[in-house]
Each structure stands twice: as structure tokens, then as C-alpha cells.
């Protein structure tokens, strides 16, 4: 029997989108703290988003090669449950904040996914995306899911080019622990579309129950 696929929606910038995502059953919401991102927010915006989240919805703070001081500032000002690192951060850096963390791995050009996975064995989860190592991700491009080793599939968060139209295929082929979407459920960068989020959750539930 296939276990329930968890769902994370990243790039949340508005409280109303967070409320709607939670209502639809999304498990985790990502907030971006990376100045070059079109979905970047500050601590004040993040606090407002976290304030409206019900229990059991996990707020995640996303960084890319941040200064330590930025991470510590966000943790001091926002009630964050989990960190997500998208750059070339070392294991020691990721572990240094005393919070569960997700390590995003861009697999473009990577020959040994298992070695990368093992390097970040202390991560709560490893997220696989289509971008190159240390790059920003969020390109909306998918990758060849067949390259993911079978023994890792139930341990990963699958990202990269996912949307309501292809998420069922992704889950059927990979059977990941979770899927992560951003642009695939947006009407504009950082603006989530309620209908797309609803279609996403229906598709995930349909394939899980199939």
C-alpha cells in the first residue's frame, strides 16, 4: 500500500494564501529569505503568515548561501519549525542552528545522487530539484525522475517543474515521501492560485488512493 504523499508549497508571500493552503490540507509552507528571489519576504511578513497557520502545518524558512546572521535573525523573529538550505551550505552550517533542516540538492550534472544524499544524512529530508548544484532552483523545469535511485525514493521531497497536471505521474513513477511546488500553483510569482492548489491536492489524494 502506498503511504500518503506529503505536500509542501513554497514561496508563500501572503497570509491569505497560507490560510487557503492549510484549509486544503497542505502539510508545510515555505517562505523564502533570499533577496534575489521574486518570492523573497522579510521577517515582518513571515510573522504575519505564521500567525495564521493552524496546528500541524509546518512553517519552513528557505535560504540560499545565507550569512549566519540572517538565519539567526529570522529564527529570533519568526516562529519557524524547519530550515531549508538551497546553496552550497556545509553540513556543519546546516546543523549549527539547532533546528531540523531540509537540504535541497540540485541534481543537474550530478552523477552520484546517493553520495550527495549520504553527505547530508543529518537532514530531516533531502529535496531533489532540477537545477545545478548550489543554484537558486525554482526554475519550473522538471528532470528525469528515473535517475533517482530506488532506495532513496521514499526518503525524498520531489521538486522541479511539478504542477497539478503532472504531479500524479510524478508520484506514480517516483513514490516520494513528499512533493514540493511553487510556480506550479501560482498565477504570478509569489501569488498562489486557489484553484490550482485545490487541483493539486485532489490529484495527490486521487493517486494515493488509487
- Which residue out of 17, 50, 129, 180 is catalytically annotated? 129
186-188 vs 125-132, strand pairing mode = unpaired
Helix or strand holding residue 43 (H, E): helix 43-51
Clarify whether 94 is annotated catalytic.
Answer: no
- Which residue out of 10, 50, 82, 94 is catalytically annotated? 10
Q: Is 25 left (phi over 0), alpha (psi -120 to 50) or beta?
A: left
Q: How far apart are CA 8 and CA 123, in angstroms?
A: 16
Clarify whether 129 is annotated catalytic.
Answer: yes
Q: How many CB atoms lie within 10 A of CB 206?
A: 12
Q: How many CB atoms lie within 10 A of CB 208?
A: 14
Catalytic residues: 10, 129
Amino acid at each position: 500500500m502506498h503511504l500518503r504523499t506529503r505536500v509542501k508549497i513554497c514561496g508563500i508571500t501572503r497570509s491569505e494564501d497560507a490560510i487557503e493552503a492549510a484549509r486544503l490540507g497542505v502539510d508545510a509552507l515555505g517562505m523564502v529569505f533570499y533577496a534575489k528571489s521574486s518570492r523573497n519576504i522579510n521577517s515582518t511578513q513571515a510573522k504575519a503568515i505564521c500567525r495564521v497557520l493552524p496546528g500541524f502545518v509546518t512553517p519552513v524558512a528557505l535560504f540560499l548561501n545565507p550569512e549566519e546572521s540572517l538565519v539567526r535573525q529570522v529564527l529570533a523573529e519568526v516562529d519557524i519549525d524547519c530550515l531549508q538550505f538551497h546553496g552550497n551550505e556545509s553540513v556543519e552550517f546546516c546543523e549549527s542552528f539547532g533546528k531540523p533542516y531540509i537540504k535541497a540538492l540540485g541534481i543537474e550534472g550530478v552523477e552520484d545522487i546517493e553520495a550527495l544524499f549520504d553527505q547530508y544524512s543529518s537532514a530531516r529530508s533531502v529535496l531533489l530539484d532540477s537545477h545545478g548544484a548550489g543554484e537558486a532552483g525554482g526554475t519550473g523545469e522538471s528532470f528525469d525522475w528515473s535517475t533517482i535511485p530506488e532506495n532513496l525514493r521514499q526518503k525524498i521531497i520531489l521538486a522541479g517543474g511539478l504542477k497539478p497536471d503532472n504531479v500524479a505521474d510524478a508520484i506514480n513513477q517516483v513514490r516520494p515521501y513528499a512533493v514540493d511546488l511553487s510556480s506550479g500553483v501560482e498565477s504570478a510569482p509569489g501569488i498562489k492560485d486557489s484553484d490550482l492548489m485545490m487541483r493539486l491536492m485532489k490529484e495527490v489524494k486521487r493517486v494515493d488512493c488509487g
